[in-house]
Amino acid sequence: MTSSSQRPAPDKLALTVILPTYNERENVPVLIRDILRSVRSPVQVLVVDDNSPDGTWQIVKQLAAEDGRVHLLHRTVERGLTSAIWAGIRAAGTDAVSWMDVDLAMPANVIPLLLERLEAGADIAVGSRYVPGGSDPGHSAMASAFSRVINMFAAVLLRAGVRDYTSGFIAARRSVFDRIELRGDYGEYCIDLLARAAFAGMRIEEVPYACGARLSGESKTGASFTDYLRRGMGYVVTVLRLAIRRS
């Protein structure tokens, strides 16, 4: 996916930023512009869209025709966040891959900081709300409380040195995925990836960032106590499974 005119300097990693989308037509062009403006290293943006009824993929197709750094993977059969990220990873032809939410809660100007950690030797860099300098001002008190409890639970049981297991804002060397395949639903895949990478001796570093609020569109995480409880139970099961495997 990297053209000859965009070959990186020897000390730089070429990057593909994977954006999994479903009904994000208002947010995705803003985020793509932010990424291309923020990342100075050779970069490609790959949008993996699950046939959004609002025409997100059509917007991206137009952007791709205007800028060769933008690419579209339009899926009409497969569905789901984890499979979309994994499809993007498989399609990427760069040294490093990154992914993030498309709701504009995750700032694009953090991506170069994640990439710097990879270039300094990390295997995985995590945008973290829970290391010093990070915060989560964009979510409700209930959402933040659930997230903190789950991450504290994971940190205690998994003992992998990670504070934000459910980040979903990741950059990694492409070679990581020669050994680890993504699995699990929604945030479960992120817990699973970070824990297995740590268990395998990979170097994981966290970069602080402030997670904002969704700019427009509908949240995919749910908003009620029941929604958070149901999703939280999936996280708990994932953590327990991984902790048992490590013991």
pTM reported for the whole predicted model:
0.89
Determine the pLDDT at residue 87.
98
Which domains occur in the chain, in start order?
12-246 (3.90.550.10)
CB 184, CB 82: distance < 8 Å? yes
Asked if residue 198 has pLDDT above 50, the reply is yes
Sign of the CA dihedral running 158, 16, 1, 41: negative
Q: Residue 2, SS3? A: coil
Mean of the pLDDT values across residues 167-194?
95
Please tell me the distance from the alpha carbon of residue 99 to that of residue 243, in angstroms, as a whole number.
Answer: 26
What is the tens place of the pLDDT at every residue in 82-132?
A: 999 999 999 999 999 999 999 999 999 999 999 999 999 999 999 999 999
What the block records as the tokens of 61 is: 């197709």
**Residue 69: count of CB within 10 angstroms of its CB:** 21
| Short-list 187, 34, 19, 17, CA closest to 109 | 34
* Those residues with Cβ within 8 angstroms of residue 205's Cβ, 6 or more apart along the chain or in another chain: 117, 122, 124, 125, 126
DSSP 185: S
What is the tens place of the pLDDT at every residue in 20-49?
A: 999 999 999 999 999 999 999 999 999 999
Determine the pLDDT at residue 246.
82
What is the tens place of the pLDDT at every residue in 89-99?
A: 999 999 999 99
Where is 47: in which H helix or E strand?
strand 43-49
Asked if residue 169 has pLDDT above 50, the reply is yes
CB 56, CB 28: distance < 8 Å? yes
* Those residues with Cβ within 8 angstroms of residue 189's Cβ, 6 or more apart along the chain or in another chain: 81, 82, 85, 182, 183
